[in-house]
Structure 1
Amino acid sequence: MTEKIGEHRLPEIADVVVVGAGPAGAVMTKAFAEAGMSVVCLDQGDWPDYSTSRSASPERALLGGNEWSPLSNVRKGPGDYPIDEDDADISALLWNGVGGSAMLYAAQWQRNMPSDFRVRSLDGVADDWPISYEDLLPYYAQAERDFAIAGLNGDPAVPGADQYPMAATPIGEAGRRMGKAHNSLGWHWWPGANGIATREYGRLKPSVHRGACFLGCGDQAKSTVDVTHWPDICRHRNAWLLTRATVARVETNSSGRATGVIYFDSKGVERQQKANLVVLAANGVGTPRLLLMSANSQHPDGLANASGLVGKRLMMHPYSAVVGTFDDEIGTMQGAYGHLLYSLEFYETDESRGFVRGAKWGLMPTGGPMEMTRSFPWGDNRELWGARFNETIRERLNHSATWGIIAEDLPEEHNRVELSSTLVDEHGLPAPKIVYETSENSRRLLAFHVERAKESFLAAGAKQITVAPHIRNTGWHLLGTTKMGSSPEDSVVDHTGRAHTVPNLYIVDGSTWPTSAGVNPTATVVAMALRTAELITSGNAATGSKDLEGATA
């Protein structure tokens, strides 16, 4: 067990225990610590070792992959658990450790759109959220300051996005070319907002454009909470972070209230951390897994599962990639790997298209020589291998860019996370099993957007277009498995993230989302965590002050 925060003894009963040290867990821990409350954060992984990413070394593309693979079944690092995906057509991509899955994000920062909170009202499907875009506006702005987001203010498609703390990542020749094409088509585009520093900001250093964002940014230019948040939390003697601490279950008492967690330390010793309040931030797979593992005589179907929805309604954002290759160089061999620009032209529902909802496009560089051979974003690559191999690499390298298409994924109860009956982790705990099938609506949506993205590249003068219509290893966004709503009969948590049936248990990751939106989720996950933290620490959350008896605030 590693204590990275505080060398003093853990409290016997903490005011709060937080499970997960990613963006949401860090936001919550920081807020509680600053409010003077004793808070213990547990993460089953460890601190990132940037030396293994080899981001500054020529051999990065060859040797930096396994330790930083987004697939826990490949990575098998400290705290990773196996995942049963035999019945899933998209693989879950996640990271266990300080920084959470954002350690592997491309740092594309996108707010949800106002319509994303009103899908039932606008389109007659799925559910409305119990909160609105307007409710999150001040927290979006705070998140963008706290995470040092680089963007261009004033996109008319995104209300209120006008307080970015630093200038946008340069869009380069690829961005200029595609922006000009969209102008000619009359389509929306805007320079991308990214959690990638363009100047010094706190502990962040300006990006040197290695294009290594997915493998861990050893230059400390990417906004991840191991850089932006945890060093500040370290200054508080009332906060602890325990790494390699695998939480096995949340404990409850006879009245149904959470009393803390049971966890295994790095040596496999079972330990207990008692707390007045329990906060889960373990992602859309880890959180429902933990709730299901916490079943007891009072909660035989899993903790907080009176609705029967824990683990159900999994949404994973089906993803397609369209690559345009140009005759001349467009500067995409290096650079920040966030989105150079984005388009929301086809984001809202148009019933004439034969499906509901839409998608965000993000224009990304294609990277270095090895990236020219990958299945992402080139698909099956059948035309690559053979007599024209070298020629094809030369045609692609520094001559190509990708539209990454993130499709809104509607909630369906048969898409789910459950406990595996065959796989266990190193502590003998059941692994999660993912059952997921891409819906017909998503397939139609992606097919439409692929055709429009091809039009975009043609308008920009691309000589060749390559389509990867459905890529398996793209489940970066794990949403919906502990639904937020107003009633305990049809949801797991309320509008603050408080469990309906366990009043001192909160969930603050993307698992609470009633619908998935069609954009990168980190901005909204963080904004919602900031809102929940403020409601709890100010005494305005639904639980009231009883749950924080003994708090030092």
Structure 2
Amino acid sequence: MTPKYKLSDDSVVVIIGSGAGGGTLANELAQRGVKCVVLEAGKHWTQADFENDEWAMFNKISWLDKRISAGGWHHTKTYPHLPAWIVKGVGGSTVHWSGVALRFRPHDFQTRTIYGEVPGANVLDWPLGYDELAPFYDLAEKKMGVAGSKASGQPEMPPNNHYRVIEAGARAVGYKQIVRPAASNSAPYDGRPACQQIGFCMQGCKIGAKWSTLYTEIPRAVATGLVELRPESMVLRIEHDKSGKATGVLYADKSGRKHLQKARVVCVAGNSIESARLLLNSASSMFPDGLGNSSGQVGRNYMNHSTAAAVSINRKPVYMYRGFDIAAVVADEVALDTKRGFFGGYYLEGLALHLPYTAAFMKPGGWGRDVTSALEMYDHMSCVWVCGEDLAREQNSITLHPTEKDQYGLPVPIVTKTYHENDERLAAHGLQQWRKLSEAVGATRVIDMPAYPASHNMGTNRMSAKPRDGVVNKWGQSHDVKNLFVSDGSQFTSSSAANPTLTIVALAIRQAGHIAEAMQRRDL
């Protein structure tokens, strides 16, 4: 039975967001006996609502509230009001994510130490290292059922034709690390069925083979009787008392009525844009620049990976859309190697697009014979997404529009991003290597595409050892407000080249233990 906590109940942990961070945190806390209220801005979709249709699901689940793209990136022209491609709904972007589950490498936690001072960037070491997080990576892989992981015991995902084409090209140019770390069941696991290779993974997994908090963490948390889920509850601000302690969360329900839910602890897990926006919106006389923002770093250091995309037209049909959406992931370029002319590394991720998305992303807003002649060869296409390290830059930021408001009466967020020259060199190298890989197996044409709206949003509330350098400590705990935590990718100090979800889940598991123990000691 779902509890109905009173708005005046100040013994609960209020979690804002139900995705990889918030959903995992809710379940982990509930399993430790902690009462929680989960506030989710979006609707509570179910698997019955999922459609194997790209545009239908994009319009149904995407966060389409107005946002403004600003800065030097191409999004100001190609996607002026869609800087990020995330989900507004229970489960957050774990509904939409491709399922790639990659760990950070040890050097990713020490970018300032290893890279030194990078002009035009704001790189910083994490206040924790790989060895400290490794046990939680194991727990996350087991929880999520990552295929090929020793922790889960799941066999590797069977290769589809897209995989075979990319693998052949990769090996032809000398690559050796071709992997497929998918958080989707390759065999029945944890009460969920095996992947049926339907191919609409990013539209929501209709059978539930792909891990998503929508049908794993959230239902289990609610089943404990300790967690109440409130969908269509948009959080407007976090309240605090005279001592600076967070006391509650003001939110609007689906009818627009406002409620103040009292809280013992507040955990923010709304994705990098909304989490930073919320702290900025929670400014007060005590925190004039935003809650927990004594460092001035809230909203700063926005990262979304250095990315690029391309499709290759092969001599024979590939049918990339058949099977799991991620084919081969080529990992050879992740290693540190500054001889290439840039810091960091990247993955070449064989990400299948269906025909509607291919048409939309190939040349945003454009058409013509160069596009139609390529689309005529859609069944011959292979596709790559270059996913590389994005250096933190203070000017890449989330800020509040001075006058324009959204449907909740909140200032519209401005997402400002200008690529560092390192990002541009990295992405160009990735496209060059993809072209070599494709031509090695006889591709007749390779078409570079602009990067898609960001699904990997990181930074804006970053971890730091010293309060002046960031927003939260090694536990995701605010330097300024003891009972305020950040539980999503906005706490990332660096982006690495790895897709962020596995690390978000590992950090949430670790954070839950810390919060539960601190509550038991009465430190929170």
TM > 0.5 fold call: yes
Cα distance change of structure 1 residues 436 and 372 upon mapping to structure 2, 3 Å threshold: closer
Distance 1:284 1:188 in 2: 34
Instruction: Give the AA of the match of 1:456.
Output: L
Instruction: Note the residue ranges of structure 1 that are not aligned, 5 or more in a row.
Output: 74-80, 154-161, 549-553
Contact 2:27 2:217 in 1 (8 A): yes
Distance 1:307 1:9 in 2: 35
> Residue 144 of structure 2 aligns with which residue?
147
Instruction: Give the AA of the match of 2:475.
Output: T
> Residue 480 of structure 2 aligns with which residue?
501
Contact 1:375 1:381 in 2 (8 A): no
> Residue 247 of structure 1 aligns with which residue?
235
Instruction: Give the AA of the match of 1:85.
Output: S
Q: Does 1:414 align with 2:395?
A: yes
> Residue 291 of structure 2 aligns with which residue?
303
> Residue 466 of structure 2 aligns with which residue?
487
Paired residue secondary structure (2:478):
coil
Cα distance change of structure 1 residues 255 and 133 upon mapping to structure 2, 3 Å threshold: same
Q: Does 1:85 align with 2:85?
A: no
> Residue 373 of structure 1 aligns with which residue?
359
Distance 1:15 1:547 in 2: 15
Paired residue secondary structure (1:313):
strand
> Residue 396 of structure 1 aligns with which residue?
378
Written as runs of structure 1 = structure 2, the 5 A alignment for 1:164-243 is: 164-243=152-231
Written as runs of structure 1 = structure 2, the 5 A alignment for 1:451-530 is: 451-468=432-449, 470-471=450-451, 473-530=452-509
- More divergent stretch after superposition (194-203 vs 290-299): 194-203
Cα distance, 1:243 vs. partner?
A: 1.0
Distance 2:278 2:5 in 1: 28
Contact 2:47 2:208 in 1 (8 A): no
> Residue 122 of structure 1 aligns with which residue?
114
2:427 to 446, 450, 454: 446
Instruction: Give the AA of the match of 1:458.
Output: E
Paired residue secondary structure (2:132):
helix
> Residue 76 of structure 1 aligns with which residue?
none
> Residue 412 of structure 2 aligns with which residue?
431
Instruction: Give the AA of the match of 2:105.
Output: M
Cα distance, 1:324 vs. partner?
A: 2.3
Cα distance change of structure 1 residues 265 and 168 upon mapping to structure 2, 3 Å threshold: same
Q: Does 1:260 align with 2:265?
A: no
Paired residue secondary structure (2:12):
strand
The CA deviation string for residues 227-263 of structure 1, in whole angstroms up to 9 with x for no partner, is 1111211222221111111111111111111112111
> Residue 35 of structure 1 aligns with which residue?
32
The CA deviation string for residues 35-73 of structure 1, in whole angstroms up to 9 with x for no partner, is 222211111111125455422xxxx356444214x4x33
Cα distance change of structure 1 residues 253 and 10 upon mapping to structure 2, 3 Å threshold: closer
Instruction: Give the AA of the match of 1:84.
Output: I
Contact 2:363 2:371 in 1 (8 A): no
Contact 1:335 1:365 in 2 (8 A): no
Written as runs of structure 1 = structure 2, the 5 A alignment for 1:249-328 is: 249-328=237-316
Distance 1:383 1:332 in 2: 23
Contact 2:21 2:505 in 1 (8 A): yes
Distance 1:95 1:61 in 2: 14
Cα distance, 1:22 vs. partner?
A: 0.8
Normalised to the residue count of structure 1, the TM-score between the two structures is 0.87
Instruction: Give the AA of the match of 2:67.
Output: I
> Residue 511 of structure 2 aligns with which residue?
532
Normalised to the residue count of structure 2, the TM-score between the two structures is 0.92
The CA deviation string for residues 356-377 of structure 1, in whole angstroms up to 9 with x for no partner, is 112111113343x445533259
Cα distance, 1:11 vs. partner?
A: 6.4
Distance 1:379 1:267 in 2: 36
Paired residue secondary structure (1:255):
coil
Contact 1:377 1:402 in 2 (8 A): no
Cα distance change of structure 1 residues 114 and 376 upon mapping to structure 2, 3 Å threshold: farther
> Residue 345 of structure 1 aligns with which residue?
332
Q: Does 1:96 align with 2:88?
A: yes
Cα distance change of structure 1 residues 494 and 8 upon mapping to structure 2, 3 Å threshold: closer
Paired residue secondary structure (1:467):
strand
- More divergent stretch after superposition (11-20 vs 373-382): 373-382
> Residue 79 of structure 2 aligns with which residue?
none
Cα distance change of structure 1 residues 133 and 536 upon mapping to structure 2, 3 Å threshold: same
Distance 2:288 2:402 in 1: 17
Distance 1:442 1:227 in 2: 36
The CA deviation string for residues 327-355 of structure 1, in whole angstroms up to 9 with x for no partner, is 22334231111x22212212233333222
Cα distance, 1:266 vs. partner?
A: 1.9
Contact 2:477 2:484 in 1 (8 A): yes
Instruction: Give the AA of the match of 1:497.
Output: G
Instruction: Note the residue ranges of structure 2 that are not aligned, 5 or more in a row.
Output: 76-82
**How many pairs were matched up?**
511
Identity level (%):
28
Cα distance change of structure 1 residues 20 and 396 upon mapping to structure 2, 3 Å threshold: same
Distance 2:412 2:316 in 1: 49
Instruction: Give the AA of the match of 1:236.
Output: T
> Residue 67 of structure 1 aligns with which residue?
60
Cα distance change of structure 1 residues 531 and 376 upon mapping to structure 2, 3 Å threshold: farther
Contact 2:307 2:387 in 1 (8 A): yes
